[in-house]
Amino acid sequence: MASAGSPSVAVGVTRPVDLRSDTVTKPTAAMRRAMAEAEVGDDVYVEDPTVNALEAEVAALFGHEAALFVPSGTMGNQICLRLLAEPGQEILCDSDAHIVTYEMGAAAALFGLGTRTVLGARGRFELDAYVPQVRPPDWHTVRTAVIAVENTHNRGGGSVQPIEELKALRAHADEADLSLHCDGARIWNAHVATGTGLAEYGAVFDTLSVCLSKGLGAPVGSVIVSSSDRIAAARILRKRLGGGMRQAGILAAAGRHALHHHIERLADDHARARTLAAALPGVVVNDPETNIVVLELDGDAHALAAAARDDGVLVSVVSPTRIRLVTHLDVDDDGADRAAGVLSGLLD
């Protein structure tokens, strides 16, 4: 009989290669030790030392005054948008942005914020495409209060936003009285792929929401980064949304461990994404910049996903003809090679 804590996979059974998302990672043994040993307090009273240390560290990395630990990236994004826009105003973003595709209409449902979208190639920001769409304050039209940029762009296949375009956006925003938000769920991947400093990205945006539970491999959590005044307001919004956690240092310790040990290793995930793409040349939509590979099929994506699952490879269906593969901490070189072999065999 297996002892408590034993793996649930039977002896002799090969574990599936799970490429559905980088959210499926399990905490490493070292991360679990850090969580078990974390010093904790009541975070709603701002008394959890590990949470406070995480927030200070992330704020410093991005060159901002303060930060706030929240349970999820969706909560982080939505709090940031409400900090920057009033009910009845609008957010301008990419047509495939996470905030309008995967966050359940939260900006409208929770805060009365409108969204308007711009179509971009693989979600890449281009200033010339956005400037004509900005609506200034007027008696007759909804004011554009925020431009939101996703970096890296999930549905764009992990595409990295060009830093020079982002800097041009900052200059325009200063002139046009616009606020800027970054959905930085995978900004760590952009940083590693390009060498662009986190503080250089941070200097562009008024608010950022950065995720610890995707490429960095923590089990839970994102961090909002902004000014001290905005973060004070964000604490109230977090409480209002039910996101005030108590002895959250156990989770924050996982995030701190990830920051110290799992950023530079993202380069391995990027290399494994290239391995997958090279094995599937006829169907790959994007030359991977980071850890996401998108496949465009002639046939039924659901049928391929089911066949791959039967062969021990899990993939994500993102449209009737598209499959997404995401490399991460729990997929090693052997796993990437095994997945490449299974998928190439199914596509022959």
Structure confidence by residue, pLDDT tens digits, 113-129: 999 999 988 889 999 99
Q: At residue 331, does pLDDT exceed 80? A: yes
Report the alpha-carbon distance of residue 8 to residue 231 in Å, rounded: 42
User: Beta-strand (E) ranges in 124-233?
Assistant: 144-150, 179-184, 207-211, 222-226
Q: What is the pTM of this model?
A: 0.93
What is the C-alpha to C-alpha distance for residues 205 and 180, in angstroms, rounded to an integer?
A: 5
Instruction: Report pLDDT digits (tens) over 82-96.
Output: 999 999 999 999 999
Question: Residue 202: what pLDDT?
Answer: 98
Verify cis geometry, omega within 30 degrees of 0, for the bond prior to 152: yes
Angle subtended at Cα 29 by Cα 70 and Cα 51, rounded to the nearest 5 degrees: 25
The mean-pLDDT minimum among 62-71, 133-142, 308-317, 336-345 falls in 133-142
- DSSP lists the bridge partners of residue 69 as 223
pLDDT of 213 reads 96
The domains of the chain, with CATH numbers, are 29-261 (3.40.640.10), 265-347 (3.90.1150.10)
Residue 140, pLDDT above cutoff 90: no
Whether the ω angle into residue 28 lies within 30 degrees of 0, i.e. cis, is no
pLDDT tens digit sequence for 216-252: 999 999 999 999 999 999 999 999 999 999 999 999 9
Mean pLDDT over the full length of the chain: 94
Position 11 scores a pLDDT of 42
- Is the pLDDT score of 80 beyond 80? yes
CA-only gyration radius of the chain, Å: 21
Ranking 121-135, 147-161, 229-243, 326-340 by mean pLDDT, the lowest is 121-135
Query: Which residue spans within 143-185 are E strands per DSSP?
Result: 144-150, 179-184
Q: DSSP class of residue 55?
A: H
Type of residue numbered 127? L
Write down the pLDDT at residue 139.
83
